[in-house]
Amino acid sequence: MGIIIDGKTLAKEKREELKKKVQELKDKEEIVPGLAIIRVGNDPASEIYVRNKLKACQEVGIHAVEQHFDENASEQEIIERIEFFNQEKSIDGILVQSPLPKNLNEKKIVSFILGSKDVDGFGINNLGHLLANQEQVLAATPLGILHLLEKYEIPIASKNVLVIGRSQIVGRPLAIMFLNRDATVTIAHSKTKNLKELTLQADILVSAVGRPHFITADMVKEGAVCIDVGINRENGHVIGDTDFDTIKEKASFITPVPGGVGPMTVATLLENVYELASTRKKEK
């Protein structure tokens, strides 16, 4: 049986480490890291994610504010608020909780976040640096996955990595991060043919699709590392994309859902806020 990657515990350790570092920054530089979260509309999952982020910020001593707009808010109103936070000295990171209501242009709105405050790493500036292998702020979910692999001493260089999903927040940046760490990377998406042929070659298999039972045990190579990013709801339970119970018998390492990638994402976001606040110190 494979080793179950305990994201929940690792995330807790990371938050404890961060709490100390945040306290040090306060004591030595009188800087309190600040995060602004913009949420639009009433998507129930977003509400939970934002609540978790605010709670985690409070736990480690990061000052966090939520700006909530109702679903009829205009792009202009939201952009004006972003511009306010861009100027606000107590705010080091700004994020717009995805998804936005369909009538709003998410990419346009996010583009107004200053590159130096783009704590999610979704902006063109940070993505360009990632592509050029000059990484700056990295998106929290992919970076959290790298932290998990590092903690379990799972090597990346020269491995065959398959990333399923090419969204701007998970699949795409993650694939480039693996490439920057010398993996041989394949990206699969909804137009990919013969997916099983690809999954069976993967030493590290990442599923970021959002479909329950998408990866079954017959698709996984013996001894592979299986990273499940998916969050799906089935019969009142949260499950990932992979058939955990059968795949754990075959994989060398596997992330559970919940308790794998999810908690690490939040801890990594907080770390990004802290890192940006530390830059504030150098600029003084």
Choose among 227, 229, 256: nearest CA to 141: 229
CA dihedral defined by 266, 267, 272, 278, rounded to 10 degrees? 140
53 is catalytic: yes
Is-contact 139 173, C-beta < 8 A?
Answer: yes
What whole-number distance in Å separates Cα of residue 35 and Cα of residue 33? 7
Catalytic-labelled residue, pool 6, 14, 53, 221: 53
Q: Which is nearer to ligand NDP, 79 or 195 (CB)?
A: 195
Which contacts qualify for 74-81: CB closer than 8 Å, 24 or more apart? 75/104, 75/105, 75/108, 75/109, 78/38, 78/40, 78/104, 78/109, 79/109, 79/112, 81/38
User: Can residue 97 be called a binding residue for ligand NDP (CB under 6 A)?
Assistant: no
Q: Is the dihedral of CA 255, 203, 134, 21 positive or negative?
A: positive
Among 175, 231, 247, 269, binds ligand NDP (CB under 6 A): 231
User: Can residue 129 be called a binding residue for ligand NDP (CB under 6 A)?
Assistant: no
User: Can residue 188 be called a binding residue for ligand NDP (CB under 6 A)?
Assistant: yes
DSSP state string for 20-88:
HHHHHHHHHH----EEEEEEES--HHHHHHHHHHHHHHHHHT-EEEEEEE-TT--HHHHHHHHHHHHH-
Among 96, 229, 276, 277, binds ligand NDP (CB under 6 A): 229
The total number of residues shown for the chain amounts to: 284
User: Can residue 193 be called a binding residue for ligand NDP (CB under 6 A)?
Assistant: no
| Stretch near ligand NDP under the rule CB under 6 A, chosen from 66-74, 78-86, 88-96, 164-172 | 164-172
97 is catalytic: yes
Q: Which is nearer to ligand NDP, 34 or 262 (CB)?
A: 262
Q: What are phi and psi of 63, to 5 degrees?
A: -80, 120
User: Can residue 256 be called a binding residue for ligand NDP (CB under 6 A)?
Assistant: no
| Stretch near ligand NDP under the rule CB under 6 A, chosen from 80-88, 121-129, 203-211, 218-226 | 203-211
Catalytic-labelled residue, pool 6, 118, 120, 203: 120
Sort strands 204-207 and 237-239 into parallel, antiparallel or unpaired.
unpaired
| Stretch near ligand NDP under the rule CB under 6 A, chosen from 9-17, 27-35, 55-63, 224-232 | 224-232
What whole-number distance in Å separates Cα of residue 261 and Cα of residue 269? 12
Among 90, 111, 125, 167, binds ligand NDP (CB under 6 A): 167
Among 34, 93, 121, 171, binds ligand NDP (CB under 6 A): 171
Sort strands 93-96 and 34-40 into parallel, antiparallel or unpaired.
parallel
118 is catalytic: no
Q: Which is nearer to ligand NDP, 166 or 280 (CB)?
A: 166
Among 110, 148, 161, 170, binds ligand NDP (CB under 6 A): 170
Catalytic-labelled residue, pool 6, 97, 203, 250: 97
Active-site residue set = 53, 97, 120
Interacting residues with ligand NDP (CB under 6 A):
141, 164-167, 169-171, 188-192, 195, 208-210, 229-232, 261-262, 265
